[in-house]
Amino acid sequence: MTGFAGNWQTQAIPTKTEAPALVQPTGEQAAQAMERLPLYFIENRGQADPRARFTLRGGGRTVHLTDSGLLFDFLRYEKMDREQKRGHPDRLQGRRLVVGLDFSGANPQPEISGQTQKSARFHYLIGNDRSKWVTDVPAFGAVVYRDVYPGVDLRLYDDGGVLRYDFIVRPGGRVADIRLDFRGIDGLRLDKGELVAATEFGEIRQSEPVIYQETSQGRTNVSGGFALEGPSRFAFKVGAYDRSRPLVIDPQVMTLGYSTFLGGGSDEQANDINWDSAYVFVTGYTDSAGFPATSGAYDTVLNNRDAFVAKIDPAASGAASLVWCTFIGGSANDSANGIDVNGNEAYIVGETFSSDFPVVNQGTLNYNNSADIFVTRLNSAGNGLITSVCMGTFGADWGNDISVAGPVAVWICGVTASGSAFYGSAINRQEHGPLGFADAFMVQVDTATTPAFPAYVMVFGGTGGEEALAIDQDGSRIYLTGYTSSTDFPVSAGAYQSTYQGSLSDAFVFKSDFGGALIYSTYLGTSLPDRGTGIAIGSGGAYVCGYCYDAFPAGFASNGFDNTRTHNPGYPSGFMARIHDDGASLDYSTYIESDSGPTNTYARAIRSGGTSRSDCWVTGDTGNTMYGIPAKNYYQDLQSGKDAFVARYDTSASGADSCLFVTHLGGGGNDEGRAVAGYLGSVVTTGWTDSGTFPVSASAYDATHNGAEDVFVSILSEPPLAATTGAATNVYSTSATLNASLTSKSGVPSVSMRFEYSTVSGGPYSALGADTVSAAVPYAYSKAFTGLTPATTYYYRILAYHSFYENAYGSELSFTTPAAAAPTVTTTAASAVTASSASSGGNVTAMGSDPVTARGVCWNTGGTPTTADSHTTNGSGTGTFTSSLTGLSAGTLYSVRAYATSIAGTAYGNEVTFTTLQLPTVTTQAVTSIAATTASGNGNITDLGIPNPTAHGVCWNTAGTPTLADGSSNRGAASSTGAFNTVIAGLTANTLYYVRAFATNSVGTAYGSQVSFTSLAIAPTVTTQAVTAITATGATGNGNITSLGVPNPTAHGVCWNT
């Protein structure tokens, strides 16, 4: 599988066909509300041109997805000149741009389907013919073209409001087949690997594809990129790769959303920014009379150097994206340094040199000296001041930052040269340290009371001078950072660093309660100058950023993304640290710097993800490639001599996992990040740029650089979490396996996933467990779903989630559990039957509604056997099986049935019977007809056994317990019981013999009891010879033994008589 990823860095208002609606205030408000929606791929069910399979709306664009390509439809609104304004109270006019992207030589009818279904439904009630109304049209977060080219898929998806796409080349597919043709553009070029299409609305940029393969050893990058094949055609080139493994585009690419210049003919600089997830508020100063103050704003005329405040809608486009912009200032120089938002009202702080600085509800808080602090609260429309005060005493005073808990609790910080005289008579006032010629301060201003007044005042410092540069609060505690040159700066007992480290300045972190009572205070410094420039409250304590010119303090936590300083001494490196809530230690710290030596890197601002979260964003500027590029997500690498940068860290992680992304942001000149704010997977940053090539979006309010230094406002988005719901498998009556895949997880090392289910389409959903997955994407995820109801339809979807990002839902799919049904099984006839065993088995021909978990045979002697009787277990599943029946009784009739068990129950096959085998029974009778060499053996078969005997007879020997191995006489098979006799031959006369009857069948040979007999003896044979040697009284008798007989003669001779 091969993948190519691109992203459309454009945002424009969707085409509106009814122009009059756009010039009505309610129409504009409705349009803005719609434009703040995320991207939706809306299925075409008859509400749109039939050539469009899906239509994408949201984020300032309309895109039609057809079989043959994509059609982008933009309408840009611009300011009218004086004559054009007549009859158009909104002073806006629209210009349309249509851009096509065609799949050259592609499949004319690819399979197209939606993924990552959204909860939103769309209804098209057009006209008064109800039959033509289309309702409940689903919307998706992604669309997949299957086989757009042979073996090649195309996936388009929402990436934080930016349209992106992946080409996925499966094994057998060809990269060379992919060719895309633009229509309606002014030119096509490559810029540092990015594909840039020029249009009359600006540039459409596609990020350089990042191609890799996953192996058992980890990720292997593959070379490749875009290839131009003509003035409007592009393709892809890929280096050598292992074609037996998937080749994937890394989806972790930063994208530029809304980005614009704000400026006039002179210099301006943004110093702070705030984002309430819908609108961006930015403040700073401008020297330009042509700075774009909007009609109807509070102040549209530049006086000298003025502060400015602008409210931007990044979901809108062109002139419509600048909601309002106003100057604030008097006749001298004024600059805003900090901004916060509460209830859609902007609060700013800064310094003024204007004795006529505009004040409202000020009471005694009027201009005092050459440099005073100002605190101004604007209404939500930007056309009036609710409260505006000047603060200061006889010395110079500067306001640097602001944090708002509500109109009553507006907290500011800065530096005062007035020491103990700085609001010395305030009712609630605290001092910490001996103070000196310049000291840090914190003031709570109550802007809700008439007149406004300083409710709490705290001044702190040593004799050497200090300045508080940043402040944050969590509703009960105040956190400040800045720098001090005092060896006697007030530090608390047990502080992380209790002594001043050296040259010119150390950073400090100071925590107090709302009344100014010290909780902890610590230095944070090296032997060379250091500054704390930003502070934010997150999980576990205060998150501080700044810069240092030497190695960070001893005790620098070793768990950071970058633990080793590479910059030469005397050149600044940024840092970010999480101070433990007691101020005694660092829980996390990292350098923020470029890759090498004599280069400046300044971390200037920080914003956390929230008091309960462990992440934060940092911005600043650098003169070399930032450490971590290209290993981490990034939008740009080094562009020029000085670039802005943005980085995101997770202080609960460590090492490489703790950096979620780091990127440059800039053009061909100098760029400096001054402030940052984040919302889930997106971050907005601001500062100043003198780069005419600074990246701006097609939806920019102002795409053209104006003067030497312009403000920039840019939103960068990480790739969103993306998950795809897969088809359920192993669907049974009470269980199923749910499947999904995680296709993007952004920069975090792990993501949580869970399925949600319902028996009603669209929910409400219930959660099915949760798992944390940390494998590289794509990650296949499955979950067992048990306890289901048979014959029920279930709807389910996957959810991928992480506290740092928006939840990602897969599309809703469904499955229906079958009605509970037992398996189907047949019984195999018995075989290999013996007296004590047999073989049988069965065939599970169908599992029924659920998997067969056990199968075998069962048997008994009474019939209809079940698993409660003797049984075997022979595996699981369908198919044939063989079972061995053991422990049987000989000569017994058995009934056998195969069985198969599932959760739906136990099913039995047909019943078969068999009888076990048995030996015959035979008795031995007394031997008869005994002779010297023969006799008659006698027996009686009282039971033929099973099967009938194949042999029967008698056997004999002279030792006892004769067997067939001895002498035997076989009468052959027997088919009936009864007595039998047989000849015993070959005997030795006068010998004791043992005899047993036998009968043999296939089971074996049975013997009767043993009897014995003795064969008869044989007499000698003798002949008489003539008498010789006869005398009167005697003679010699003669004879001849011709046969000795058995046994040998015990006497022989002659006998006589008269």
**In this model, does residue 45 exceed pLDDT 80?**
yes
The whole-angstrom separation of Cα 482 and Cα 460 is: 12
- Contacts of 87 by beta carbon, 8 Å cutoff, 6+ apart: none
**In this model, does residue 74 exceed pLDDT 90?**
no
pLDDT at 253: 59
Higher pLDDT: 555 or 1047? It is: 1047
Domain ranges of the chain: 2-250, 254-328+552-719, 333-525, 722-816, 824-915, 921-1014, 1020-1058
> Mapping DSSP to helix (H, G, I), strand (E, B) and coil, where does residue 419 land?
helix
CATH of domain 921-1014: 2.60.40.10
Assign residue 822 a region (left: φ > 0; alpha: ψ between -120 and 50; beta: otherwise).
beta
pLDDT at 759: 97
> What six digits make up the tokens of 845?
């021909």
pLDDT at 31: 33
Which helix (H) or strand (E) segment is 883 a member of?
Answer: strand 879-885
pLDDT at 520: 98
Residue 79 vs residues 88, 93, 97, 705, 996: alpha-carbon distances, Å: 11, 7, 17, 17, 127
DSSP notation for 251-265: ----EEEEEEEE--S
> Would you tell me which CATH number, out of the four given (2.40.50.140, 1.10.3720.10, 2.60.40.10, 1.20.810.10), belongs to the domain 722-816?
2.60.40.10
pLDDT at 85: 41
Higher pLDDT: 276 or 532? It is: 532
Higher pLDDT: 184 or 743? It is: 184
**In this model, does residue 14 exceed pLDDT 50?**
no
Is the sign of the CA dihedral 530, 534, 537, 543 positive or negative? negative
- Residue 755: which pLDDT band, with cuts at 50, 70 and 90? very high
Least confident of 14-28, 183-197, 551-565, 753-767: 14-28
Amino acid at 981: N
- Each residue's pLDDT tens digit, 363-421: 889 998 889 999 999 999 999 999 999 999 888 999 999 999 989 899 999 999 999 99
Report the greatest alpha carbon distance in the chain.
199
Higher pLDDT: 23 or 429? It is: 429
**In this model, does residue 249 exceed pLDDT 80?**
no
172-197: average pLDDT = 87
Tell how strand 429-432 and strand 453-460 pair up: parallel
Is the sign of the CA dihedral 252, 253, 259, 265 positive or negative? positive
pLDDT at 86: 43
> What does the mean pLDDT of the chain come to?
88
Higher pLDDT: 263 or 12? It is: 263
pLDDT at 122: 86
DSSP notation for 698-709: TT-S--S--SSS
Interior angle at CA 264, CA 688 and CA 91, nearest 5: 120
pLDDT at 915: 96
> What six digits make up the tokens of 1017?
């003896």
- Each residue's pLDDT tens digit, 993-1020: 999 999 999 999 999 999 999 999 888 8
The whole-angstrom separation of Cα 877 and Cα 442 is: 75
The whole-angstrom separation of Cα 769 and Cα 69 is: 40
Closest CA to 1012 of 1028, 997, 992: 992
**In this model, does residue 429 exceed pLDDT 70?**
yes
**In this model, does residue 797 exceed pLDDT 70?**
yes
Least confident of 2-11, 304-313, 623-632: 2-11
pLDDT at 94: 60
Least confident of 80-94, 209-223, 580-594: 80-94
Count CB-CB contacts under 10 A for residue 932.
16
**In this model, does residue 629 exceed pLDDT 90?**
no
pLDDT at 219: 55
> What six digits make up the tokens of 672?
């400096």
DSSP notation for 590-616: EEE-BSSSS--EEEEEEEES-TT--EE
Strands (E), 128-267: 134-149, 152-159, 162-169, 180-183, 187-191, 194-199, 202-206, 211-215, 218-222, 224-228, 233-238, 248-249, 255-262
Phi, psi of 720 (to 5 degrees): -75, 160
Closest CA to 562 of 508, 613, 618, 523: 618
First to last CA, the chain: 134
- Each residue's pLDDT tens digit, 826-881: 999 999 999 999 999 999 999 999 999 999 999 999 999 999 999 999 999 999 99
**Residue reference for tokens 């102002």:** 702
The whole-angstrom separation of Cα 333 and Cα 269 is: 14
- Residue 555: which pLDDT band, with cuts at 50, 70 and 90? low
Q: Are 22 and 89 in contact (CB under 8 A)?
A: no
**In this model, does residue 963 exceed pLDDT 70?**
yes
User: For a pLDDT cut of 90, what percent of the chain falls above it?
Assistant: 64
Radius of gyration of the chain measured on its C-alpha atoms: 50
The whole-angstrom separation of Cα 476 and Cα 468 is: 19
- Each residue's pLDDT tens digit, 667-720: 989 999 999 999 888 999 999 999 998 999 889 999 999 988 999 999 998 888
In the chain, DSSP finds a helix count (H) and a strand count (E) of: 2, 73
**In this model, does residue 198 exceed pLDDT 80?**
yes
Q: Are 308 and 322 in contact (CB under 8 A)?
A: no
How many Cα neighbours within 13 Å face the side chain of 74? 29
The whole-angstrom separation of Cα 351 and Cα 367 is: 11
242-257: average pLDDT = 65
pLDDT at 16: 24
pLDDT at 215: 59
Least confident of 7-16, 102-111, 585-594, 782-791: 7-16
Which helix (H) or strand (E) segment is 678 a member of?
Answer: strand 671-679
pLDDT at 248: 59
The whole-angstrom separation of Cα 129 and Cα 787 is: 46
- Contacts of 662 by beta carbon, 8 Å cutoff, 6+ apart: 626, 627, 628, 629, 632, 633, 634, 645, 646, 647, 648
- Residue 210: which pLDDT band, with cuts at 50, 70 and 90? low
157-184: average pLDDT = 81
The CATH H-level superfamily of 824-915 is Immunoglobulins (2.60.40.10)
- Each residue's pLDDT tens digit, 899-938: 999 999 999 999 999 999 999 999 999 999 999 999 999 9
**In this model, does residue 167 exceed pLDDT 80?**
yes
770-791: average pLDDT = 88
The whole-angstrom separation of Cα 523 and Cα 501 is: 8
The whole-angstrom separation of Cα 233 and Cα 240 is: 23
> Mapping DSSP to helix (H, G, I), strand (E, B) and coil, where does residue 30 land?
helix
The whole-angstrom separation of Cα 201 and Cα 703 is: 9
